[in-house]
Amino acid sequence: MKHWRHIFIISLFLICCSAILLRVGYLNVNEKEFLQSQGDARSIRSKVIPAYRGVIYDRYGEPLAVSSPVFSVWTDPSEKTLVNTDISELARILDLEETSLIKKLRNNSSKEFLWLRRRLPWSTADKIRDLDLDGLYFRSEYKRYYPAGEVASHVVGMTNIDGKGLEGVELIFDHILRGTSGKKIVLQNERGEIIKDLDYLSSPQFGQDLHLSLDLRLQFVAYRELKAAVEANQALSGSLVMLDAETGEILALVNQPSYNPNELQTDYIFGLKNRAVTDTYEPGSTIKPFTIMAALESAEYSAASQIDTAPGFFKVGGKLIEDPVDRGTLSLGEVLKVSSQVGIAKVALALDEDAVYQVLVRAGIDEYIGAGLPGEAQSLIDNSQLSNPIVRATLAYGYGLAISPLQLAQAYLTLASEGLRVPVNVVRQDSPAEERRVFEKTTSSQVVRMMETVTDDTGTAPKARVSGYRVAGKTGTARKVGADGYDDERHVAIFAGMAPASSPKVVLVVVINEPQGLSRGGGEVAAPVFGRVMARSLRLLGVEPDAPGRSA
């Protein structure tokens, strides 16, 4: 009986083996293509080869934005391969709340793809791999890093999590920087790990590098001084623009508040705005040099022409224009030096109706700059009411128009370049820019010489002086418009100027918006920032002093 039982078992085993062999043979002959396709579908994949985004450099090759290789981890929630014990350890490594990760998986249980965490460092990815969990997959990506942080954030900008430009030159030049991803066919195991590259469908085209006109040294000096001034004066915000007076390149551009693109905080939105480019203000007395330009061009005035400002006020229609004190008779140069509203208004009213307006237009006040930064504001200046004496008088001292700090810097550039319009650009220029003459050289030089007196002891901005250098500039203190007209408590303090005045190399504009300290004027609030930034910048640039014995 026992013998027959052994024979039965052996026979049954042989029958099963035969059945299996027959089934294998059948599948190999009749279902080969189907099985092969099913196997390939589970092990052969098309993978994206991410393109390396171009590096952004300053003018001397210091990196401002670079891309570092990282990993992102994802899963297929529909497979339901992760159990609670796995999730607990995974959440710890990913620095996520365990309950939120469980909820995330449950809410997306019908999906076949779900990011668990993006842009992880390699060390973290290795820890996850060591867990040896089924259902986790990795993808190679790049993460953007900004070495200068918030010092250069308003110019450089940032990208989103997918590497697309969101702000600054990252946005404007995204098409140049981003490149094109490639594709390859790979063999992978059941955990999604690549075993072998089978074929390359297309190679990645890396993005182009971009060299900006910024000088990171000057950018840091400007950032430090502006931030200190905004805090010291309890101001709402502040902006600073520095241009190369010969090429029109932006050497520094900073704003306060700012933001760090590497570590965005919940309140970063308030600091995101590039106020030097997007915000417009009535420029106040910083427009007076252009009114002086119009007067000199008329051939009716010279620097020595006498203007009677007594008794310190006069009426234009129903508007009273006044100076703080009765300054009596002033020369045209002295009108600029002490910033006389009465004197400049009387000069403007004696000129042709559109004389000042035309000078401002030639200086580029009403034009789109196109410097290479997003959100550039369009100036507001209107010539439709120039027949009204009040409009002409107020335009002469900077009311009735609105411009950005960058546009004001461009206008002053025409004075610094001896009457030439030079394009303003945030990208380093390797060849001379196209220039066009808008003012006579001698007239522009004369205005600059008159602007030098503003920084004298009896001028409105002695605090803008720089030891060893001649400085030319102009203060501006403009009241802001409120619900009931101009508000005497809210001001914009401005100083715009250039140095060295004998042959300008740097144009600099400082704007402090709504200072709340004891001092609120351009000469007290903005001029000191100008002086400190200009002093350090001229020395860093190696500009030779043009007044060696002169003290600040």
**Per-residue CA distances from 401 to 239, 247, 473 (Å):** 19, 27, 20
User: In the 8-state DSSP scheme, what is residue 226?
Assistant: H
Q: How far apart are CA 509 and CA 415, in angstroms?
A: 13
Cα–Cα nearest to 511, from 244, 242, 298:
242
Tokens of 426: 């945030």
Q: How far apart are CA 285 and CA 476, in angstroms?
A: 4
**Residue located via tokens 């909820």:** 103
Which string of DSSP letters, residue by residue, matches 121-185? -HHHHHHHHHT--TTEEEEEEEEEE-TTGGGSHHHH-EE-TTS-EEEHHHHHTHHHHS-B-EEEE
Q: How far apart are CA 67 and CA 267, in angstroms?
A: 25
SS3 category, 349: helix
**Residue located via tokens 């789109």:** 368
Contact 506, 498 (CB under 8 A): yes
Phi, psi of 289 (to 5 degrees): -60, -30
Query: How many residues does the structure list for the chain?
Result: 552
Catalytic residue among 67, 213, 258, 285: 285
Which string of DSSP letters, residue by residue, matches 253-303? EEEES---TTS--TTHHHHH--HHHH--B--GGGGHHHHHHHHHHTTS--T
Contact 310, 342 (CB under 8 A): no
Cα–Cα nearest to 243, from 370, 373, 411:
411
237 has catalytic annotation: no
**Rounded to 10 degrees, what is the CA torsion of 31, 33, 36, 40?**
-140
Tally of CB atoms within 10 A around 265: 10
Tokens of 389: 């004496």
Contact 330, 340 (CB under 8 A): yes
Contact 278, 377 (CB under 8 A): yes
Q: How far apart are CA 168 and CA 150, in angstroms?
A: 12
Q: CA 336: distance to chain centroid?
A: 34
**Per-residue CA distances from 131 to 93, 121, 194, 331 (Å):** 10, 16, 18, 83
Tally of CB atoms within 10 A around 464: 31
Q: How far apart are CA 485 and CA 478, in angstroms?
A: 13
Catalytic residues: 285
